[in-house]
Amino acid sequence: MTQMSLTVGLGTRAYDITIGPGLIDQAGTMLGEIAADRHIIIVSDDQVAPLHLQRLLDGFSPIARKLDQFVVAAGEASKSMAGLTRLLDDILAIGVDRSVLLVAFGGGVIGDLAGFAAASLLRGVDFVQIPTSLLAQVDSSVGGKTGVNAKAGKNLIGAFYQPRAVLADTSLLATLPARELRAGYAEVVKYGLLGDAGFFDWLEQHGEQVLALEPDALQQAIYTSCLAKARIVEADERESGKRALLNLGHTFGHAFEAVANYDGRLLHGEAVAAGMGLAFDLSVALGLCGQPEADRCKAHLQASGLPSGQATLPAGNAPADILLGHMKHDKKTRNGVMHFVLARAIGDAFVHGDVPEPVVTELLERGFNAV
């Protein structure tokens, strides 16, 4: 199957995203001078490594000067200051200099952790993203957001630090659990909801094929998602404006994750899916969006096996005051005012900073009591 590629145009820090099957088997060739004759350190987790790490090592071995690997525990618990410190100490213990290349080989947790390690190690070394989950391939590996969680909330400690390249190997998704695949699909749906009604139409017709890993549909969905994110990042790399649209569903979603304590009962994509349903419900409650648009959004989420609100969350629901407490710690809060990504229609999202708290409270209480 033909590979697809695009460039995230950030001037001297521009990088390519390559999408297609079998990329890790030729990782050294694909990355060229980025990886040639360098000390390469692969960071992975204990779910991905047994399945795919040897293939990646074989792909790098012809061109690497030296190869090392570190495998951390899978899951959000590794994405912490303690996890970051352990990883950095382990890397420093083997002896590195600024010519080292870190490779994030895993899902969103590994990408965020290894990326922040690269931003911090020796005040910044090169890294490459090789995402192994659908969520990471369409979202978290692109755009340079790296970081770890804090007690106060998700992703509150980190840095904007762009990779040198992204290799999205679609063959890796064959071993992804169905639930993880659906969670990643939530981020695909997000791109249609926030700015591309035509893509949402396409997903309504082809979403089942994407989730069945039909090669053409899968590659098209990943490419369209990455292209949408790349264009937003190019316009607003550090989230001072338009990039905030990428947080559709995340203000609610991060609160659900905090309540669930990042313990694996609730996946990030599931939380975001429920959050997107609530964002449309809130838009309707404020008179910004028609009910049919919200119904259509939630119907597609439900048809894809995803939550569309609090009542269908596997974990993380709570009374309104608890959820609001977490939401007020969200990075989009400015001067104590919560900012939400809302919608006028499917494909027409915007940031709203004047949402009456009683309206949000009523929405959350209704969702909590519906369970």
Instruction: Give the catalytic positions in this structure.
Output: 123, 145, 187, 229, 239, 243, 247, 250, 254, 268
- Could you tell me the two tokens for 348? 């027409």
Residue type, 175: T
- For residue 312, give the DSSP letter: G
Which DSSP symbol is given to 75?
S
Amino acid at 214: E
Q: How open is the CA angle 31-37-38, to the nearest 5 degrees?
A: 80
Pick from 91, 115, 95: nearest CA to 104: 115
Where b means 16+ CB within 10 Å and e means fewer, 316-344 reads bbbebeebbebbebbbbeeeeebbbbbbe
CB distance 44 to 53 below 8 Å:
yes
Residue indicated by tokens 């900012």: 339
Distance CA 21, CA 2 (A): 9
Sequence-ordered strand ranges (E) for 170-226 = none
